[in-house]
Amino acid sequence: MIEEKNYKRYEGKGLLKATPTLSYQPEELKGEVKEQKKILEEKIAPYFPGEALKDAVEYARILQRPLLLRGEPGSGKTRLAQAVAYELYGKDYRKKYFEWYIKSSTKAKEGLYTFDHLARLRDVELARHKNNGAPQPEKENLFKYRDFGPLGQAYLASKPDAPAVLLIDEIDKADLDFPNDLLFELEQKRFFVEETSEEIAAEYPPLIFITSNDEKDLPNAFLRRCVFFYIDFPSEELLMDIARANAKNWAEQYRKAMPDKLVEDIVLRFRQLYMDMKNNPNTDKAPSTSELLDWLRVLYYQFLQGRLEGDSLPKGELPHPEVLLKSLDDYKAQVNK
């Protein structure tokens, strides 16, 4: 049912440990900074998807529909697209991976393309001045004013033997019309550039991952065109795997390993905090996996400095609650226990 050549199922094994340092050159920027052409570096942290999430990726590929990911902030929604791209394409994954981070002011057309009307007007005026007011004799090149956005780039890069991967992050930040404005383009995998009279069509549908924090409801017409998955809070076993993988990464980087029992105690302490807060109706926000990793990193730093010793956390007061708790009421409730 899947028409991809050289098809490779996403198994969730590409980021069982952190990547080595990867170098890449970002898309050229407009304006005066265009000539800088900086080489950027990144190191991707481990990522552990559950079995149900791996199946959801598979179903989205079979149906050739976007995978809409919901879940609490910090649950790993945003990182899935990158994890899939890295597993499929390795260190050169950015040639096939595109990101579109949505803001409240984002318009749907920006993801397809932009057209620099001001630059065109400037060039027309310069040419007219150069020709003493006469019109340009040569045919105007409109294509140089057109730049493709992340969705447009993904359509152009997606091939049957190597489909592109696109992240549309936090779609619910945009206005209510935004999802509906993308219905045709997401379903038909093509769009029209009015200024150049081009139709851009994907040779093969890209893998599209869309995240939402449920800040507002999405239109039913949009939801019908997506495969839906809710990323729940990880099990204790999965939390342990995530914590151990990150602790191992830091041990390799700083050449000092945190004891396994200490890592386990940190996870157990965190999970107990999470359960207590989740079951408390007065809780504003229970900590997520993202906060666990921040907390683990702070505690690892203390371990490096010799300020945290032994195989367990000190009993009593929760260490560094400011890393885990994101509201004043939650902070006071834990500190005053």
pLDDT tens for residues 235-246?
999 999 999 999
Question: Residue 213 and residue 145: Cα distance in Å, rounded?
Answer: 35
- In whole angstroms, give the CA distance from residue 102 to residue 126: 36
Report how many helices (DSSP H) and strands (DSSP E) the chain contains, helices first: 13, 11
Average pLDDT value for residue range 250-267: 96
Q: Is the pLDDT of residue 21 over 80?
A: yes
Give me the mean pLDDT over the 82-86 stretch.
Answer: 98
Residues 6+ apart with CB under 8 A from 324: 270, 273, 287, 291, 292, 294, 295, 318
The distance from CA 17 to its chain's CA centroid, rounded to whole angstroms, is: 18
Residue 32 has pLDDT above 50, yes or no: no
pLDDT at 236: 94
Q: Please give the structure tokens belonging to residue 106.
A: 């984002």
Sheet with 165-169: strands ordered across: 97-101, 165-169, 207-212, 67-70, 227-230
Domain residue spans of the chain: 48-83+94-230, 236-335
**Burial class of 49 by CB neighbour count within 10 A (0 to 12, 13 to 18, 19+):** buried
Residue 30 pLDDT: 40
**Higher pLDDT, residue 298 or 72:** 298
- Residue 31's pLDDT is 41
Which of these, 171, 184, 43, lies nearest to 99 by C-alpha position? 171
Map tokens 């936090």 to a residue: 170
Helix or strand (DSSP H, E) at 227: strand 227-230
Res. 269 pLDDT band, cuts 50 70 90: very high
pLDDT digits (tens, 9 = 90+) for 186-220: 999 999 999 999 999 999 999 999 999 988 899 99
User: Both tokens of residue 31?
Assistant: 């304006």
- Does the domain at residues 48-83+94-230 carry the CATH identifier 3.40.50.300? yes
Which neighbouring-strand residues pair with 23? Answer: 41
pLDDT in tens, 139-174: 678 999 999 999 999 999 999 999 999 999 999 999
Q: How far is CA 103 from CA 4, 107, 129, 165, 175, in A?
A: 33, 9, 40, 20, 9
Mean pLDDT of 116-124: 88
Instruction: For the chain, give the mean pLDDT.
Output: 91
DSSP string, 27-92: PPPSGGGGGT-PPEEE-PPP----HHHHHHHHHHHHHT--EEEE-STTSSHHHHHHHHHHHHHGGG
DSSP 266-291: HHHHHHHHHHHHHT-TT-S----HHH
